[in-house]
Amino acid sequence: NERVVIVGAGLAGVHTASHLRDAGWQGGIDLLGAEPHRPYDRPPLSKELLTGEVADSWLETDLDALGVRLRTGVAATGLDTAGRRLETDAGPVAWDHLVIATGAAPRALPGAAHAPGVHLLRTLDDARELRAALVPGARLVVVGAGWIGAEVTSTARAAGCEVVVVEAAGAPLPGVLPAEAAEPMRRWYRESGARLLTGTPVTEVRSDGVRLADGGHEPADAVLVAVGSRPDTGWLTGTGVPLGADGSVLADDRLRAGPPGVYAVGDCASFPSARYGRRLLVQHWDNALHGPATVAAAITGGDPAPYDPVPTFWSRQFGRMVQSAGLHSPTDRLLHRGSPAGEDGWTVCWTAPDGTLTAVLTVDRPRDLAQGRRLVEQRALVDPAAVADPAIPLKRA
C-alpha cells in the first residue's frame, strides 16, 4: 500500500489530503504538523480571532472521514530522498510520495526576538499571546506597515491600545504597492488614532520598546514585529531539494520539487509562471487553497495543467475590505478609479504598455475585484477612460 506523507498541517497540507481522496488516491495519507494543534486557518489570527469575535478557526475538513492519519507535534528535521525516508523529531517516516507544505515563518529583527513582550504573529499560540497583551491603555509598537501590521493596528485600536507603527519605507505596504497607491492608506492609520512613522528603520527591538535608526526610542508595553515572512524550509538544507535565495522550494509548473516523488505547495514553494515570465513565490491563502489540486493530480497519475494562477488576496483593515488580483510591474500604468476621499470605496488598476489589464486593487469594491480578476485572467484590453470612471463596469475595450 503506497503512502503519501504530507509535511505541514496548514491549509495547503490539509487541502492536499482532501484533493488526493477526490482524485481517487486509495493509499495511506500521513499529515504531519509541528504545532500541537489540529489544523486551523491563519487569516483570522490578525482579525476576528485577535479581537475575540471568534474563539477559534479550526479547518472543517474531516480528516478521519478521509482516512488521513494526522500527527500533530511532529516536526520534520531532514530528508533522505534516495531512501524515501523523512527524518522527524519523533523518528523516521517512510514515504512513496512526499509533499512539502511547511508554510512560512515570520522574520525577526535584531534584538530580543524571544523576550517577553516581543511578539511575532504566525501561529494560533502567537495570536493568543498577542491578544492577551492588547488590553485598554497598553502601548503597542508595531514594526512594519504591511498587511499584518495594518490589521493588527486596527484590532489593537479597537481594543483601546495606544498604537505606534514604525515603517522603514516611505509609505505603507512597501514592495506591494507603489507609494502613490498606498499613500491614501496613511490616512486610515491617522483616523484610527494610531501614529504611523514612515522612513524610520528600527535598529533594535527590546522588551521595553524599539530603538530607531535616527537615535530615537519608542517605548512600548508590547512590540509586534511584522516585517514579512520567509519559507520555513531550513530543514531541507543539504537534502537535494532545490531551494532558492528566498528560501522557497524551487518547484516546477506541476509543483514537483526535484527528486522523484517530492512535491511542494503553499507558502513554502515557488513555481515558474508562464503568465508572468518569471518564478513566483505567492504567500497568500488563495494559493495554498488551489495549489493542492495540481499536486494531487500529479501524484495520482493525472496530467494536471501547469499551475499558473493569477495571484489574488484580501485584507480586512480599518473597517475596510482590501482585495487584489494580478501582479503589476514598474512599467505598468496606474489608473485611479474613484477617489480615496469618497465614501464608496475606490480601485486602482494597472495596465501593461500593450493596454491589457494586469492588476486591480480594490477598497470596498468587490464587484470591481470580480470583474477585474476575470479581465486580468483573460489578459483583456481595456479602455483607460472607461476604467477611470467608477460608474462604468470594468470591461473589455
Chain residues binding ligand FAD by CB under 6 A are 7-13, 32-35, 42-43, 45-46, 75-76, 101-104, 121-122, 148, 232, 235, 266-267, 283-286, 288, 313-315
Q: Which is nearer to ligand FAD, 141 or 268 (CB)?
A: 268
Q: Which is nearer to ligand FAD, 195 or 290 (CB)?
A: 290
- Distance CA(340)–CA(387), nearest Å, equals 16
Q: Which is nearer to ligand FAD, 218 or 232 (CB)?
A: 232
Cell digits of residue 349: 488598476
Q: How far is the CB of 377 from ligand FAD (least distance, A)?
A: 17
C-alpha to C-alpha distances, 199 to 73, 202, 212, nearest whole angstrom: 40, 10, 10
Q: How far is the CB of 37 from ligand FAD (least distance, A)?
A: 8
Q: How far is the CB of 384 from ligand FAD (least distance, A)?
A: 29
- Distance CA(223)–CA(148), nearest Å, equals 13
- Distance CA(389)–CA(116), nearest Å, equals 51
Q: Which helix (H) or strand (E) holds 125?
A: helix 124-133
- Distance CA(320)–CA(362), nearest Å, equals 10
Q: Which is nearer to ligand FAD, 76 or 171 (CB)?
A: 76
User: Can you tell me which residue has the cell 531512501?
Assistant: 83
**Burial class of residue 202 in the structure, from the number of CB atoms within 10 Å of its CB (0-12 exposed, 13-18 middle, 19+ buried):** buried
Q: How far is the CB of 78 from ligand FAD (least distance, A)?
A: 9
Q: Are 251 and 243 in contact (CB under 8 A)?
A: no
Q: Which is nearer to ligand FAD, 288 or 375 (CB)?
A: 288
Q: Which is nearer to ligand FAD, 11 or 375 (CB)?
A: 11
Q: Which is nearer to ligand FAD, 233 or 351 (CB)?
A: 233
For 246, phi then psi, to 5°, come to: -85, 5
Q: How far is the CB of 102 from ligand FAD (least distance, A)?
A: 4
Q: How far is the CB of 333 from ligand FAD (least distance, A)?
A: 26
Non-local CB neighbours of 383 within 8 Å, separated by 6+ positions = 397
Q: Are 261 and 280 in contact (CB under 8 A)?
A: no
Q: How far is the CB of 11 from ligand FAD (least distance, A)?
A: 4
